[in-house]
Amino acid sequence: MKFCVNASAFLLLLTTGCTPRPHMAQDGSVKTKYIHQYGVEVANAHEWTERGSSGQIIKQLKNGAVETQNWQHGALHGLTTTSFPHSNVIHKETYYDNGQRVWQTVNYSSGMPKRQDIFRPGNITLVSTWYEDGAPRSSEEYHTDNLWSGEYFTREQELESQIAQGTGERIRRDGHGQLVAKDDFANGKKFLEVTYYANGMPQKYIPYVNDQIEGTLKTFYPGGEPNTAEQWKANMQNGDTTIFRGGQRVAIIPYVNGQREGVETGFRPGTDIITHEITWKNNQKHGPSMYYVDDEKVTDYYFEDVKVTKTAFNERSA
């Protein structure tokens, strides 16, 4: 959870002819100003280094935001701020002590705080969040990446769930109080996440093992009917995915490492009568695709997702 910028790394960037990329700005900058600690603007990065790398670096980013960094002897020291694009309102502010983050705050577009992370020794992080009207939303304590304790509040400031010694339920709401998800924790790790539609109906049931999606992931339509039942392992679909329509099974699709692989089987809703069998390889139709209509069977052939004749498929597969 720590981020450090030291003098040697900063000087390396300068000697290669590049200025340091702005913190959190993936799209770079279009203009950079170097202000010496005594308030005098210097010409370029080379002169900034020669004068001790102390003062401010101000970057105008491609998205219209402005980032202002405070440096001391080649290390970030003091407040670094990033505005919202084309605005004077501060979106993010981070306080550094000789290159090490002390705290970081992210704000709403109104300027009100949305989330604050305080970084403590021993890989402990305190996280606070707020609703858009300024009311507290949650307070959490993380030990490394494990959630050790937390309290979660409604907009009316009622405590609605909590985590104690790494175990319990976390209720997540957006800045307006809308229910987003519920997470179940044990020993600091999330083992089940339930996300919700705006109407309050469940959208997904997502199981976790050691911070990775693993088990049967279920999805639902907004009315509550099942949509899919997916087998996952190590953050990828592995195994059969069952597709539902109108609450009835209509297809089973095999997956290997996130890609369709094997024979997909379609069914008439609520029966075991097969309607189609499609062969997949590396997420592409590859091989025979058979469709059953009454007593008739129609077979098409595909080679890497391109429809071909049976003869052409056999020749190209030889």
Helix (H) or strand (E) holding 11: helix 7-15
**For 83-104, how does the pLDDT look when each residue is reduced to its tens digit (9 = 90+)?**
999 999 999 999 999 999 999 9
For CATH 2.20.110, the residue range(s) in the chain are: 226-318
Question: What's the gap between Cα 185 and its chain centre?
Answer: 19
What is the H or E stretch that residue 314 is in? helix 310-317
**Tokens 């071909």 sit at which residue?**
308
Residue type (1 letter), 141: E
**Band of the pLDDT at 295, cuts 50, 70, 90?**
confident
Taking 60 as the threshold, does the pLDDT of residue 142 lie above it?
Answer: yes
pTM of the model: 0.82
Whether 106 shows a pLDDT value over 80: the answer reads: yes
**pLDDT, the chain, mean:** 91
- Fold annotation for 226-318: 2.20.110
* Res. 5 pLDDT band, cuts 50 70 90: very low
pLDDT interval class at 297 (50, 70, 90)? very high
Can you give the pLDDT at residue 255? 98
Residues 6+ apart with CB under 8 A from 198: 178
Q: Is the pLDDT of residue 2 over 90?
A: no
- Nearest partner of 58 among 23, 86, 101, judged by Cα: 23
Amino acid (1-letter code) at residue 124: I
pLDDT of residue 12 exceeding 80, the answer is no
The pLDDT, as a whole number, for residue 19 is: 39
**What's the pLDDT at 29?**
83
Q: Give the span between the Cα atoms of 316 and 122, in whole angstroms.
A: 60
What tokens appear for 128 in the block?
Answer: 């606070």
What does the block give as tokens for 310?
A: 């049976």
Please tell me the distance from the alpha carbon of residue 155 to that of residue 161, in angstroms, as a whole number. 13
pLDDT of residue 28: 72
